[in-house]
């Protein structure tokens, strides 16, 4: 019953002590191509065409104790390879430390089978929201860079009828590491500097968002 | 009366000063042309011309000034003509005019153009008078057309230049902070895509309805799945689930 507590235990006992360093930003659609071009130059495998993805993400939520943050899971599957499912737990980003160069949150990643939706439902999770993300994927060493356009699903369940959410592409930089390392933040910051004229990196994510949605 | 005389004197002083400046500038320019013609480049020649034109402009402005009395109302009357050298005049004119005699006066105090010029002007006026009205109109129109075309071309070129330089000076907008905020809150909290639900009041009917919606969502999310017994179990499980939706 007390699954939030269980998750807390998992994290505190370092069963899966993985943290994600991440930076988020956006680029207007009109400037996207320039950014893609630059990323191709900056990231590995510059000679290849950038990898593309077209994913459907469903976010499940379970409110255990009303006094605690609800637990959520991000189930994502590719619409290009419908059987490839991926489940991700994301902790709340650590925003307390202003000295950190990136945002840091706990995360657990797992490849799962396609009946994960049923499984989560049986566990008592509810669908909180879902969206479509379509875009490009780059990597540089262990850093992952995605440039994606988010779409709103007009008809629940139908991934064909979608509507773009804004005039911008979301840009995410992420490095998953076993523990918090200063060096990673430094590297990511330097990388982000290279994209600076094109993107604004959001370093401070306000907790207010929780209240506004 | 006295006031007017004072004004005249002042404005004359101003005029003399301006003319003096103009003269100096021309002298300098001539000197440059004569002595530095080898190293002189076009931009600096243009600079000199600009200087001259500026000084001419300010002279013109001075003449048009309200405080300057209308000079044409004043008569300049030569009282004495003398064939002797005039030392004072020589000094004033920097040895250009030695004496104030019958030879120079008609040149310096001339109010009409030279006879040859006058003749030419009258010739041209006659010629203009003989042109047929229609032809004149035609030429008129042609000239106007050409001029306006030229103006158009110049203006469009100017606009092009200006917009180009504007583009260069201002960094194009490549991102929007509002979009960043929106997108980030979307992927994290489902902002603007979350289905707004009524606050949970343990109303069994609405609960059941939204459960059904939920069910539909789940079903369609797993499109390719073959219908099986699990589905009915989910229904049972989810509808009887103890947890309330936030």
Q: What is the pLDDT of residues B11-49, one digit of tens each?
A: 888 889 999 999 999 999 999 888 888 888 888 889 999
Q: Which of A83, A86, A84, A82 is nearest to A58 (CA)?
A: A86
Same domain, B82 and B129: no
Q: Is residue A187 part of a domain?
A: yes
Q: Which two tokens stand for residue A116?
A: 């994960």
Express as a percent the part of chain B with pLDDT over 70. Answer: 76
Same domain, B54 and B83: no
Q: Is residue A9 part of a domain?
A: no
Same domain, B58 and B89: no
Q: What ipTM was estimated for this complex?
A: 0.74
Q: Would you tell me how many other CB atoms lie within 10 Å of the CB of residue B245?
A: 19
Give the residue, A174 or B194, on which the prediction is more confident.
Answer: A174
Structure confidence at residue B52 (pLDDT):
92
Does B7 have pLDDT greater than 80?
yes
Task: Indicate if the alpha-carbon torsion angle B113, B114, B118, B120 is positive or negative.
Answer: negative
Does B233 have pLDDT greater than 70?
no
Number of domains forming the structure of chain B: 3
Q: Residue B107: which pLDDT band, with cuts at 50, 70 and 90?
A: confident
Q: Is residue B141 part of a domain?
A: yes
Minimal Cβ distance to B183: which of A26, A90, A212: A26
Q: Is residue B135 part of a domain?
A: yes
pLDDT in tens, B59-85: 888 888 877 777 778 787 888 888 888
Structure confidence at residue A97 (pLDDT):
61
Number of domains forming the structure of chain A: 1
Does B219 have pLDDT greater than 50?
no
> In this structure, what DSSP letter does residue B74 have?
S
Nearest chain B residue to A34, by CA: B174
Minimal Cβ distance to A127: which of B214, B225, B231: B214
Q: Is residue B241 part of a domain?
A: no
Q: Is residue B155 part of a domain?
A: yes
SS3 sequence of A144-155 = EEEEEEEEEECC
Q: Are B36 and B48 in contact (CB under 8 A)?
A: no
Q: Is residue A48 part of a domain?
A: yes
Contact residues for A171 (Cβ-Cβ < 8 A; gap 6+): A24, A25, A26, A27, A35, A145, A146, A147, A195, A199
The CATH number that applies at residue A178 is: 2.40.320.10
Q: Is residue A4 part of a domain?
A: no
Which helix (DSSP H) or strand (DSSP E) does residue A110 occupy?
Answer: strand A103-112
Same domain, B51 and B81: no
Same domain, B139 and B150: yes
Same domain, B105 and B130: no
Q: Which of B168, B201, B235 is the last residue of a domain?
A: B168
Q: Residue A211: which pLDDT band, with cuts at 50, 70 and 90?
A: very low
B56: domain range?
1-74
Does B241 have pLDDT greater than 60?
no
For the ranges A166-170, B23-27, B161-165, B170-174, the lowest mean pLDDT is seen at B170-174
Q: Is residue B153 part of a domain?
A: yes
Q: Is residue B223 part of a domain?
A: no
Give A146's strand partners.
A137, A172
Q: Would you tell me how many other CB atoms lie within 10 Å of the CB of residue B187?
A: 22
Which SS3 state, helix, strand or coil, does residue A10 take? Answer: helix
Q: Is residue A2 part of a domain?
A: no
| Average pLDDT of span B102-124 | 86
Does B209 have pLDDT greater than 50?
no
Give the residue, A204 or A192, on which the prediction is more confident.
Answer: A192
Q: Is residue A5 part of a domain?
A: no
Between the alpha carbon of residue B47 and those of residues B97, B151, B211, the distances in Å are: 31, 25, 84
The CATH number that applies at residue B2 is: 1.20.58.1710
Q: What are phi and psi of B211, to 5 degrees?
A: -60, -40
- Put simply, the chain B residues between 184 and 213 with a CB less than 8 A from any chain A CB are 184-195, 213
Beta-carbon separation of A156 and B213 below 8 A: yes
Q: Is residue A123 part of a domain?
A: yes
Minimal Cβ distance to A166: which of B183, B190, B194: B183
Q: Is residue B233 part of a domain?
A: no
Q: Is residue B236 part of a domain?
A: no
Q: What are phi and psi of B210, to 5 degrees?
A: -70, -30
A121: domain range?
14-212
Does A142 have pLDDT greater than 80?
yes
CA distance A51 to A78: 13
Beta-carbon separation of A129 and B179 below 8 A: no
């Amino acid at each position: 019953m007390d699954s939030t507590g269980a998750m807390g235990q998992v994290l505190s006992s370092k069963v899966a002590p993985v943290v994600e360093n991440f930076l988020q930003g956006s680029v207007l659609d009109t400037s996207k191509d320039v950014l893609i071009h630059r990323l191709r130059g900056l990231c590995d495998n510059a000679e290849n065409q950038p990898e593309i993805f077209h994913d459907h993400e469903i976010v499940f939520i379970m409110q255990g104790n009303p006094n605690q943050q609800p637990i959520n899971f991000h189930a994502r599957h590719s619409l290009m390879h419908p059987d490839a499912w991926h489940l991700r737990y994301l902790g709340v980003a650590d925003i307390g430390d202003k000295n950190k160069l990136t945002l840091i949150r706990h995360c657990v990643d797992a490849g799962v089978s396609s009946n994960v939706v049923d499984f989560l439902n049986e566990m008592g999770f509810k669908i909180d929201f879902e969206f479509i993300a379509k875009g490009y994927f780059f990597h540089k060493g262990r850093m992952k860079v995605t440039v994606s356009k988010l779409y709103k699903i007009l008809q629940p369940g139908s991934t064909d009828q979608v509507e773009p959410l804004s005039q911008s592409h979301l840009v995410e930089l992420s490095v998953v590491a076993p523990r918090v390392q200063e060096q990673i933040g430094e590297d990511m910051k330097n990388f982000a500097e290279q994209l600076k004229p094109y993107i604004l990196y959001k370093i401070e994510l306000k907790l207010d968002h929780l209240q506004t949605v | 009366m006295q006031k007017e005389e004072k004004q005249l004197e002042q404005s004359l002083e101003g005029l003399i000063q301006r003319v003096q400046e103009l003269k100096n500038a021309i002298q300098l320019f001539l000197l440059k042309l004569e002595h530095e013609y080898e190293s002189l480049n076009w931009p600096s020649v243009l600079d000199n011309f600009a200087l001259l034109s500026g000084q001419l402009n300010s002279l013109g402005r001075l003449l048009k000034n309200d405080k300057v009395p209308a000079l044409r109302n004043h008569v300049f009357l030569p009282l004495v003509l003398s064939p002797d050298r005039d030392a004072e005049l020589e000094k004033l004119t920097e040895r250009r005019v030695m004496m104030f005699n019958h030879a120079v006066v008609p040149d310096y105090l001339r109010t009409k153009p030279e006879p040859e010029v006058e003749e030419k002007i009258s010739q041209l006026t006659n010629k203009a008078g003989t042109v047929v009205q229609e032809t004149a109109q035609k030429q008129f129109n042609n000239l106007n057309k050409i001029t306006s075309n030229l103006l158009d071309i110049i203006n469009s070129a100017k606009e092009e230049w200006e917009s180009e330089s504007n583009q260069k000076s201002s960094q194009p907008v490549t991102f929007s902070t509002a979009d960043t905020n929106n997108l980030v809150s979307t992927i994290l909290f489902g902002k603007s895509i979350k289905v707004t639900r009524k606050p949970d009041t343990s109303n069994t009917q609405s609960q059941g309805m939204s459960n059904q919606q939920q069910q539909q969502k789940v079903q369609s999310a797993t499109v390719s799945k073959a219908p099986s017994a699990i589905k009915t179990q989910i229904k049972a499980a989810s509808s009887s689930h103890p947890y309330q939706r936030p």
